[in-house]
Structure 1
């Protein structure tokens, strides 16, 4: 009997640090001795490059454009400490659906039993979270991923994308879809940012998994084409990612979130806008999370 593979999906709006976070989680897990495959589901195909010294790899859709039948092994490349890397890819610019690459790539690897053959402990899907259309929703809708996490800052558009993701999870939860593990709070460097994201988690009946501060260490590492775990292994930021990886490893229970309706989300954000103005004007001191 084959071992159970822990499959997780990490979503987040474009530019929020989703791939940076995912790659550092993968690096921390392989550093700890686990067998990990990172599955890039963004049509930009840039999820795994910091696991491979900045090198990009052919995508599943690239290979299928060259020939109709593809050996899945041709789409799998090794990176830092043996982490396996796959990029689903996307259509040619202006043609087709960006989600098609995810559907096609997942089907290809499942049909050829790649996950079992590689004896994996983890498959980590790195998924664009601005939209939860048919393709991008595959890890949720099909129950491929057991646990879903989102990377979000305290900025409204990041929170908006996280709330939309929760709506998708709630929709598919009654038909065997994946459940929500929590929020990875990224670029949190001040009490008010922490207060906003903590209150959002409370409003949506979920939790903060880890706080990841904004750090020049991350920028330096990515400019060198590497994860922070590889480029700056002794840094405080690397330890934050190791802590996050441990928490994901130990995570066993995900739940159905309670996303806000758009009017409620806007009313909630407006209250926080007034709170921040009051703080800036010196009318109140500190951050009140229960507003």
Structure 2
């Protein structure tokens, strides 16, 4: 399979054909799930804990960081940075060598993880780096790997072609958005829904499986957004000091037997079973309507500016050269 060929849609995830006998289990296809959200909203926190829990449940999971910041795997590996595919590829190319899987893929307690990386600040397009990273993955045999789940951690800026790649080219079956009860994160989540809606109208098969509400303070705007666009809330992770402190210290909280284990066990189940849904993205005024006008400035009205405003002084009226004919009496 090439990057220009769509993967099989969600409805074909289970292939029960060609069974040899009753003892042969149905073959499962890999679920490739792209997670999007505003920078700093907690995608990496959510995915590192989710992937860890999935692995403890016996699932084969690949966590793939697709954010140029390359911070997806940091929490999984206790703050240690992985060599990125793009950086390693450049060094290997200069040395005349090929990238090997052991150069860029690392594992912890059953979770396999890689970082695509990106260009240095101000020295290239992050989206183009994503495309180059996927081309390298394909050479490494990405489409032949035997994982149950591949989780892609993407920046929410899907207006850039590289970051919208999984949606535009059907490289995943479904999308999950991470947001909170604030306007900016829901604005990004709505943009992701708009991208999914746009490409579905062009024949795409990707849908939105749902939303993870992170740092939930109970005010309800994120849940209201999910309901408005027609997607479920897969989990609500509370704004809790214990979570904040442990995450800041690169600790995994989604371990079996810990106080937060039930939350991530349920999230794992929901992520596994949630179908891809065509979302109904909101208009800007509808998005503002989820919040109190006092919180967003939604009660502000647009006042047109005049030439006097632009010049900062009165503007004398110029005499018109238009010829005006008096109307003759009937």
TM superposition score normalised by structure 1: 0.84
The equivalent of 2:104 in structure 1 is 76
Structure 1: runs of 5+ lacking an equivalent: 275-291
Larger Rg: 2
Preserved contact between residue 63 and residue 114 of structure 2 (Cα < 8 Å)? yes
Q: Are positions 1:123 and 2:139 aligned together? A: no
Distance 1:272 1:29, change over 3 A: farther
Structure 2: runs of 5+ lacking an equivalent: 1-17, 19-26, 297-330
Tell me the matched-pair count: 267
The equivalent of 1:14 in structure 2 is 39
Quote the offset at 1:89 in angstroms.
0.4
Find the partner of 2:77 among 52, 67, 71: 52
In the aligned structure 2, how far is the partner of 1:152 from the partner of 1:41? 18
Q: Secondary structure at 1:49's aligned position in 2?
A: coil
The equivalent of 1:246 in structure 2 is 269
Q: Secondary structure at 1:264's aligned position in 2?
A: helix
Q: Secondary structure at 2:177's aligned position in 1?
A: strand
In the aligned structure 2, how far is the partner of 1:224 from the partner of 1:265? 35
In the aligned structure 1, how far is the partner of 2:290 from the partner of 2:263? 30
Quote the offset at 1:77 in angstroms.
2.8
Distance 1:53 1:115, change over 3 A: farther
Q: Are positions 1:234 and 2:234 aligned together? A: no
Quote the offset at 1:125 in angstroms.
0.1
Distance 1:51 1:228, change over 3 A: same
In the aligned structure 1, how far is the partner of 2:39 from the partner of 2:126? 14
Which shows bigger deviation, 149-158 or 62-71?
Answer: 62-71
In the aligned structure 2, how far is the partner of 1:25 from the partner of 1:115? 22
In the aligned structure 2, how far is the partner of 1:172 from the partner of 1:221? 39
In the aligned structure 1, how far is the partner of 2:104 from the partner of 2:73? 11
TM superposition score normalised by structure 2: 0.75
5 Å matches for 1:91-170?
91-117=119-145, 119-170=146-197
In the aligned structure 2, how far is the partner of 1:272 from the partner of 1:70? 57
Find runs of 4+ consecutive structure 1 residues off by over 6 angstroms: none
Higher helix share: 1
